[in-house]
Amino acid sequence: VDYKKNSGFASHMKKQDQSNSSSDFAKTKSIKQQREYLPVYTVRDDLLNIIRENNVVIIVGETGSGKTTQLTQYLMEDGITDFGMVGCTQPRRVAAMSVAKRVSEEVAAGVPNAKQGESEELGGTVGYAIRFEDQTSEQTKIKYMTDGVLLRESLRDPDLNMYSAIVMDEAHERSLNTDVLFGILKKIVARRSDLKLIVTSATLSADTFSSFFGGVPVFRIPGRTFHVETYFGKQVAEDYVMAAVKQVLQIHFNSGPGDILVFMTGQEDIEGVCSMLAEKIGGLGESASPLLVLPMYSQLPADMQAKIFEAAENGVRKVIVSTNVAETSLTVDGIKYVVDCGFCKLKVFNSKIGMDTLNVTPVSKANANQRSGRAGRTGPGFAFRLYTERQYKDELMENSVPEIQRTNLSNVVLLLKSLGVDNLLDFDFMSPPPQATLESSLYQLWVLGALDNTGALTKMGTNMAEFPLDPPLSKMLLFAHENGNCSDEILTIVAMLSVPSVFFRPKDREEESDAAREKFFVPESDHLTLLNVYLRAKQHKFDSDWCAKHFVHSKGIGKAREVRAQLVDLMKQQRLPIRSCGGTWDVVRRAICSAYFYNSSKIKGIGEYVNMLTGITSCLHPSSALFGLGYTPDYVCYHELISTSKEYMSCVTAVDGVWLAELGPMFFSVKESYANRILKRDTEAKRKAAMDKEMALAQKQLDAREEV
Ligand code: ADP
Ligand code: MG
């Protein structure tokens, strides 16, 4: 990559170089000193005062100023935890876990007379909760959690009485669940005068938050940032992975000390950059100065994630290659150089295929500036953007679109309905979702039987909301219970679908691992293949050697076991007995069909299928058991559609055409001609329109009555 301002760059840098890198800071200073060095410490008392005087406060501060790690502790030190926990929500699970770990260390270090070597366990005073994982206890006073967890807690405890204070962190992210929490918490603070609500943001967009709560105070933590010199690419980079690798090497060989933070979009390109860097540096032999390369993404094991915070040994340069979790959620000290690929992965509702897809999208200007800012936290820094200045100016949006305006909302709609919000248009959204998305979510829930014709929650819907799962998966589970007597099997399948793939496929042993995976194949179903792997692992007592030998991630299977155990608990709480079909796996496939019938395809040509509702053509994914064994049934259902060069159905199960008619009568009937189906679809659309109209009318009448 060529850079506009690149001439003489290296020499210029060396002059400016500061001898004291901030990684040393972490090594040489005590935790107490580190805490007191943070910008938020200088305003600690003012902050506590403003919180004492107001129920809702918005706090704005640069990333790294100490909002996430310090606020909760200040509140605890001020005694508020005598009346309930301090909860702190995070849009990202990685951040919730990582920050909780750090804060529990800080709390342990602050305990007077702590005995040597006695450290606070995570889950003691400080804990965290993410979906399917609760690391808290009776002793917990500070609880970090994902925003989704708090949202679900509001179902059980509508006033959130366990909490004396809630910090809604990273509000600028505008994640779907945080946005919904805004509306819910606004109601709760109106009811509970003893609850403190603190909303934090890393950007100046705080006025939106303040006016949402009726003009509450905004407190700004004074910043301490250094100048960051920003460089743009001269031409449009064709391959940002290659471009990033080149840029890192250029910095490494030509510039002074300081760690490098590279922003990529996800696991795949992150691993690409990491392995290419390792290869290049390795290829240079002894002569090259060493480079410590560390990946960071959400599916990375926790111990690997923790490594990014450790200082490298004696002066070795550290390169962290991360997703946008390092943009504002996590702060690593000592970063002097930032390399920004200019893209991120965004979940977007694709109306063409009727579901969310993860798309690689250009970042917004706000994201780009946050990314650059990471280089100037502890001294002057340098940011390299792998895109041109023209692209920045002309193609990047100012801010990204809030998640609530771009993703599927069926989960949120189900939850709000369970909270008694009958008319969603009445709900206090900070940014209302598009009406079409709301309607399509209502429709999806109606199709699954969660809502009745008037849009009210059915018994099925009420039960579905009890599970922290996507609506189709909870439907599958409940259907299995009601109809198939195979909840035992479906529990396993749902658990396996809720964890990352358990199939291990190392780079240099692809063939060997594929052969091992094939041994688990159940010809007619990838879902049953997952069930099969689990059952076989169970037979071998989940032994890690057995797993390794069969290219199965033993940690992944372990995680699936935990998820399963929690789902079992939820079933028991609802008094739903768990039964096994004992090997008649057709019933299991039928239950699968009950959840996915709107994701059903009919065979069209060799290896080609066409979706029966959307008309989209797609193929079996090459990892599918059906593909592997060359089995092409007439009808299939699938978990999701993956779009790359083509559309692929992933996680596929063969189904009987008759089941489709039985389970999705609103769409299908037996022996129906194409013309008939079109007719039926149109009638259905008309019926839906009529229903919407009726609902709107009824609502109007209700509203009118209330006004009187
Ligand atoms: P903010 O929320 O304002 O962005 P944080 O409270 O996250 O700021 O960060 C404050 C400090 O805590 C930073 O210097 C950061 O490096 C440090 N920190 C946060 N998490 C960890 C961790 N897991 N290990 C070591 N240091 C951490
Ligand atoms: Mg933070």
The predicted model scores a pTM of 0.87
Check residue 140 and report its DSSP letter: -
Beta carbons within 8 Å of 417's beta carbon, 6+ residues apart: 445, 451, 456, 457, 461, 465
As a whole number, mean pLDDT of residues 701-705 equals 65
201 lines ligand 1 (CB under 6 A): no
Tell me the average pLDDT of the chain. 89
Considering every ligand atom, which ligand is closest to the CA of 329? 2
Q: Which residues of 432-460 are buried (b: 16+ CB within 10 A; e: fewer)?
A: ebeeebbbbbbbbbbbbbbbeeebebbeb
Considering every ligand atom, which ligand is closest to the CA of 34? 1
How far apart CA 10 and CA 695 sit, in angstroms, is 67
373 lines ligand 1 (CB under 6 A): no
102 lines ligand 1 (CB under 6 A): yes
- The confidence score (pLDDT) of residue 669 equals 79
Q: Give the mutation target among 68, 101, 201 for probing the ligand 1 site: most ligand atoms within 8 A of CB.
A: 68
- The confidence score (pLDDT) of residue 17 equals 39
388 lines ligand 1 (CB under 6 A): no
Q: How far is the CA of 689 from the centre of ligand 1 (A)?
A: 51
- Summarised one tens digit per residue, pLDDT across range 610-666 is 999 888 899 999 999 999 999 999 999 999 888 778 889 999 999 999 999 889 888
Of 114 and 684, the structure prediction assigns the larger pLDDT to 684
128 lines ligand 1 (CB under 6 A): no
Q: How far is the CA of 280 from the centre of ligand 2 (A)?
A: 34
- Structure token pair of residue 94: 């990685």
556 lines ligand 1 (CB under 6 A): no
- The confidence score (pLDDT) of residue 110 equals 83
> Residue 445, Cα to own-chain centre: how many angstroms?
22
Q: How far is the CA of 134 from the centre of ligand 1 (A)?
A: 22
333 lines ligand 1 (CB under 6 A): yes
- Summarised one tens digit per residue, pLDDT across range 404-452 is 999 999 999 999 999 999 889 889 999 999 988 898 899 999 999 999 9
What's the N-to-C CA distance of the chain in angstroms?
A: 68
Assign 478 a pLDDT band (cuts: 50, 70, 90). very high
As a whole number, mean pLDDT of residues 169-194 equals 96
Q: From the alpha carbon of 333, which atom of ligand 1 is closest?
A: 16
- Structure token pair of residue 366: 């706000």
Range name among 155-164, 389-398, 688-697 with the lowest pLDDT average: 688-697
Strand partners, 131: none
Of 228 and 613, the structure prediction assigns the larger pLDDT to 228
Q: Rounded to whole angstroms, what are the CA distances from 242 to 80, 383, 386, 436?
A: 51, 17, 10, 40
Phi, psi of 599 (to 5 degrees): -100, 55
Handedness of CA 542, 545, 549, 553 (dihedral sign): positive
Q: From the alpha carbon of 170, which atom of ligand 1 is closest?
A: 2
Q: Which residues of 519-554 are buried (b: 16+ CB within 10 A; e: fewer)?
A: ebbbebbbbbbbbbbbebbeeeebeeeebeebbbbb
Mind giving me the DSSP string for 27-79?
Answer: HHS-HHHHHHHSGGGGGHHHHHHHHHH-SEEEEE--TTSSHHHHHHHHHHHTT
Torsion of CA 426, 432, 437, 443, to 10 degrees: -10
- The confidence score (pLDDT) of residue 678 equals 72
Of 119 and 530, the structure prediction assigns the larger pLDDT to 530
377 lines ligand 1 (CB under 6 A): no
Range name among 119-123, 430-434, 530-534, 586-590 with the lowest pLDDT average: 119-123
99 lines ligand 1 (CB under 6 A): yes
Structural contact between residues 668 and 602, judged by C-beta atoms closer than 8 angstroms: no
Closest by Cα among 558, 559, 540 to 549 = 540
Considering every ligand atom, which ligand is closest to the CA of 172? 2
Structural contact between residues 609 and 602, judged by C-beta atoms closer than 8 angstroms: yes
- The confidence score (pLDDT) of residue 26 equals 61
Phi, psi of 235 (to 5 degrees): -125, 165
- Summarised one tens digit per residue, pLDDT across range 96-110 is 999 999 999 999 988
How far apart CA 81 and CA 534 sit, in angstroms, is 43
Q: From the alpha carbon of 63, which atom of ligand 1 is closest?
A: 4
Q: From the alpha carbon of 169, which atom of ligand 1 is closest?
A: 2
- The confidence score (pLDDT) of residue 542 equals 96
Q: Give the mutation target among 70, 72, 102 for probing the ligand 1 site: most ligand atoms within 8 A of CB.
A: 102
Residues having C-beta closer than 5 Å to ion ligand 2: 67-68
Structural contact between residues 108 and 120, judged by C-beta atoms closer than 8 angstroms: yes
Q: How far is the CA of 4 from the centre of ligand 2 (A)?
A: 33
- Structure token pair of residue 365: 């200007």
Structural contact between residues 166 and 195, judged by C-beta atoms closer than 8 angstroms: yes
68 lines ligand 1 (CB under 6 A): yes
- Summarised one tens digit per residue, pLDDT across range 513-543 is 999 999 999 999 999 999 999 999 999 999 9
